[in-house]
Amino acid sequence: MKILAVETATEACSAALIVDGDISEQYGLTTNGHSKLILPMIDSLLSEAGLQPADLDGLAFGCGPGSFTGVRIATGIIQGIGFALDLPIMPVSNLAAVAQDFFDNNDENVAFVAMDARMGEIYWAWYQRNSASYAELIGKESVTSASDIQYPDDMVGVGIGSGWGIYDKELLGCLSHRVIRYEADNLPRARAVARLGAEGFKRGLAVTVEQAMPVYLRDKVAKKESER
């Protein structure tokens, strides 16, 4: 199966192509240049693989949470390609993508994911590596202050994500001995979106273009700063 994945919800911008299990990725960092970078990344991946857009079997994208503008960029690009080629789409949580990329490169089996949500809050969730080595959500994703997180009583794992670089004291105060260590430079990447997207397709979870919508978690995310 040939799946194209994109992820633009943070300062990381990336596209990935998975072809029969093999993943290639284009990745870069930018503050506001995602819309200029992502399409050339897609073109480069397809060209290097000797493929045309019509050769794709499906699409995946980081559907949020994350930057309002960034999530909309990924959603719009995938919807556009999906409409043009009539392809099924697999939305993938950016929090799950952070956890998956960590599991793919580390031995620990539990990840406490905290992404900076600004406004004094974090996007929060915890994941466990399942028997197939995929990130499995335990509990639910939420947007919350770092000192008000919900967490499991019986799990020990690693803290990952940008939220740990800002609210480490608050998070450690809540989680205490449950955290082995923490890393703050983990960002969602398209290679993890592609991995989770392929698994979602296998499980029959793909949706139509009309159903491929962004997830923000925060109700008033679109309000201007002066209105918050």
pLDDT of the residue at 226: 41
For residues 184 and 166, give the distance between their C-alpha atoms in angstroms, rounded to a whole number: 8
For residue 84, give the H/E element and its range: helix 68-85
Which residues, including other chains, have CB under 8 Å from residue 166's CB and lie 6 or more apart? Answer: 116, 184
Fold of 2-93+189-227: Nucleotidyltransferase; domain 5 (3.30.420)
Read off the pLDDT of residues 174-206 as tens digits, 9 standing for 90 and up: 998 999 999 999 999 999 999 999 999 999 999
Answer yes or no: is pLDDT of 41 > 50: yes
Domains 2-93+189-227 and 95-183 share a fold: yes
- Sequence ranges of the domains in the chain: 2-93+189-227, 95-183
Residue type, 18: I
State whether residue 114 is helix, strand or coil: strand
Fold of 95-183: Nucleotidyltransferase; domain 5 (3.30.420)
Q: Is the entire prediction scored with pTM above 0.85?
A: yes
**β-strand pairing of 58-64 with 2-7:** parallel
Residue % of the chain over a pLDDT of 70: 96
User: What mean pLDDT is predicted for residues 119-136?
Assistant: 97
CA distances from 29 to 50, 175, 211 (A): 26, 30, 29
User: What mean pLDDT is predicted for residues 65-81?
Assistant: 97
Tell me the pLDDT band of 228, cut-offs 50, 70 and 90.
very low
State whether residue 153 is helix, strand or coil: coil
